[in-house]
Amino acid sequence: MATISIPEGMNEKEYYETVVSEEEFLRWYKEQDHPTYENPSVTTDMVAYCFVEGRLKLLVIRRKTHPCQHRVALVGGFLQKHEDAIQACIREVQEEVGLRGASAAANMIKPDVCFVVDCSPANDMDGSKTSNGRLGEGFLVRLVDRTMVLRPNMREKLVNLAEENEIKYQYYTSPGGTDAGNIHQAVNGVPTAVIGISGRYIHTHNAIFDIRDYYAAKAILGKLIETIDEKFIEDVRK
């Protein structure tokens, strides 16, 4: 088997999904261990359109990874057990067009501070100890994604609180986004942080996470609630 040279800072999965040809990706993909999906597994594809100045506009996404990298596709995803097709359509479309519900909630509640809890893709299948998102290594402190950069003073508060209470954590970056992207821009700006948990095969019926990471996220959220006062809010707003 030929030796591959993966760029520094990129794991094997990211390399094959974004750098190599689709043919090379498919060869690699067939050799991987994959979760067994429940049968039947149902996916939905949405045709969302509108008319603008008399012209038909269709909502599509451009795929960032293989297969079909850089090509456009309809919005779609797995139908979850608790929802029907209409609910799945609403959820998937809202996720793609800008987290509308998060903006509405933030402007209605006008929070002093916000902590978003989210599950993020684990990238530890290559076994590297420096992979971005590793099961069993603690809750995620999301530093940056395409919708938000964590404020340094908020990062300092989170990390200090975790270390003082011996709560395991790890730093995380993402090409995606969460509700935090809209919430932190709401009202006059809301100090926001994402408390994450790494999961393999997220958005499927067979997602896997480490229960220790769940308890770490639960612990830091409890400590944050106990700690927040006027000084905390003043400090993270500086």
CB of 205 within 8 A of CB of 40?
no
Among candidate residues 96, 117, 139, the one where a domain is terminated: 96
A 10 A CB-CB count for 224 gives 18
Average pLDDT for the chain: 85
**Statement to judge: residues 81 and 172 lie in one domain:** no
Q: Do 210 and 119 belong together in one domain?
A: yes
Q: For residue 104, tell me if it sits in a domain.
A: yes
pLDDT tier at 100, thresholds 50, 70, 90: low
The stretch 78-106 carries a mean pLDDT of: 73
* Catalytic residue annotation: 95
Q: Which two tokens stand for residue 232?
A: 């905390």
> For residue 178, how many other CB atoms are within 10 A of its CB?
22
pTM of the model: 0.63
User: Could you say which of 80, 96, 112 is where a domain stops?
Assistant: 96
Domain with 64 in it: 12-27+34-96
Q: Do 125 and 232 share a domain, yes or no?
A: yes
- Residue 1 domain-assigned? no
Residue 3 falls inside a structural domain:
no
Answer yes or no: is pLDDT of 110 > 70.
yes
Does residue 2 form part of some domain? no
Q: Are residues 223 and 128 in the same domain?
A: yes
Question: 206-225 pLDDT, tens per residue?
Answer: 788 999 999 999 999 999 99
Query: Is the domain of 16 the same as that of 55?
Result: yes
Closest CA to 83 of 179, 205, 218: 205
The number of folded domains in the chain is 2
User: What integer pLDDT is reported at residue 96 of this predicted model?
Assistant: 65
Which helix (DSSP H) or strand (DSSP E) does residue 169 occupy? Answer: strand 169-173
117 or 77: which leads in pLDDT: 117
pLDDT tens track for 165-191? 999 999 999 888 888 888 898 888 999
Q: Which string of DSSP letters, residue by residue, matches 94-154?
A: HHHTT-HHHHHHHHHH--S-EEEEEEEE---TT--TT-SS-TTS-EEEEEE-SS-B--HHH
Same domain, 68 and 152: no
Which CATH number fits the domain that encloses residue 69? 3.90.79.10
pLDDT bin (cut points 50, 70, 90) of residue 14 is confident
The verdict on 132 and 89 lying in the same domain is: no
Q: Identify whether 130 is part of a domain.
A: yes
Residue 192 placed within a domain? yes
Residue 119 shares a structural domain with residue 158: yes
* Predicted confidence (pLDDT) per residue in 69-81, tens digit: 999 888 887 787 7
Q: Scanning the structure block, which residue is given the tokens 């995620």?
A: 140
